[in-house]
Amino acid sequence: MSLVSEFNDYRQRMNEKILAADNKVIKRFFNLDTNTYQEGALDVKTKEIVGLACSMVLRCDDCIKYHLGKCFEEKLTDEEVYEVFAIANLIGGSIVIPHFRRAVEYWEALKEEAVTPAPEHSHDA
């Protein structure tokens, strides 16, 4: 399983489990997050750039992967992503570098997965 698929599958599976608990506060918090990143005075691309930079400074690898995925969906170029990386490293300092490395690895995996079709799975097994 690829780095990207593994992250997305785990995230989806756990979010379903969490939301199935039907806790009102948790559901509202998740909804707040969803609504924050929708188009508004700022476009989605800008919001995802901000989310990525903040996630790097806060050193949250899961958040970095999530926002990199969204930035990829928003068609950020390598140059744009590396400018976000530069800002995050400047603001966060050298402690961000290990997260920067993993972010580059994940960005490369997103690009590779987009050009390499996933193998078909047999439903007979």
Domain tally for the chain? 1
Choose among 20, 26, 96: nearest CA to 55.
Answer: 96
Residue 123 within a domain: no
Q: Is residue 57 part of a domain?
A: yes
pLDDT tens, residue by residue, 12-43: 999 999 999 999 999 999 999 999 999 999 99
Q: What range does the domain containing 66 cover?
A: 3-114
**Confidence at residue 121, expressed as pLDDT on a 0 to 100 scale:** 44
Q: What is the CATH number of the domain that holds 109?
A: 1.20.1290.10
Examine residue 16 and state whether it is found in any structural domain, yes or no: yes
pLDDT tens, residue by residue, 36-73 = 999 999 999 999 999 999 999 999 999 999 999 999 99
119 lies in a domain? no
Taking the whole predicted model, whether its pTM rises above 0.85 is answered as yes
- Does residue 27 lie in a domain region? yes
- Helices and strands, number each (H, E), in the chain: 6, 0
